């Protein structure tokens, strides 16, 4: 029995150590989320011009609506990349933005 006590204590201390590690607070993580031009259209419609249906990010956020009769797209105004990122994820901390493929907007957040 006396020989089992040190082994039992070692196991108990190891278990307590594992619990203290798992109970440590999680570190904030950086994430990137890509928003397509169609998704940007939601922001454009809500915050730039209600007739907007699509948005493109190319160093700046430009909003458009589909033209009538096959006339292409009509410019409806400019938006803000940082405001768009905040619009899509208001609880995340905005860190920055970049251009993605097909003029999508990539938002970087800390969560």
Which residues span the domain enclosing 45?
A: 26-110
Confidence of residue 12 (pLDDT cuts 50, 70, 90): very low
Residue 4 lies in a domain: no
| Total-model pTM | 0.72
Task: Give the count of domains, the chain.
Answer: 1
Buried-state track 27-65, b at ≥16 Cβ within 10 A, e below 16: eeeeeeeebebebbbbbbbebbbeebbbbbbeeebbbbb
Residue 60 lies in a domain: yes
Which single residue is written with the structure tokens 């619009």? 87
**pLDDT tens by residue, 15-70:** 444 434 444 556 678 999 999 999 999 999 999 999 999 999 999 999 999 988 77
Residue 65 lies in a domain: yes
Highest average pLDDT, of 7-11, 65-69, 79-83, comes from 79-83
Residue 81 lies in a domain: yes
* CA distance readout (Å), 20 to 24, 29, 100: 7, 21, 41
Residue 7 lies in a domain: no
Residue 93 lies in a domain: yes
Residue 6 lies in a domain: no
């Amino acid at each position: 029995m006396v020989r089992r006590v040190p082994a039992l204590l070692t196991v108990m201390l190891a278990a307590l150590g594992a619990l203290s590690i798992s109970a440590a607070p999680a570190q904030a993580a950086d994430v990137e989320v890509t928003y397509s031009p169609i998704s940007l259209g939601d922001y454009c419609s809500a915050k730039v011009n209600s007739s907007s249906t699509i948005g493109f990010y190319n160093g700046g956020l430009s909003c458009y609506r589909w033209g009538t009769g096959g006339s292409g797209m009509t410019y409806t105004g400019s938006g803000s990349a940082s405001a768009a990122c905040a619009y899509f994820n208001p609880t995340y901390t905005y860190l920055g933005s970049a251009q993605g493929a097909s003029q999508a907007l990539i938002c970087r957040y800390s969560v």
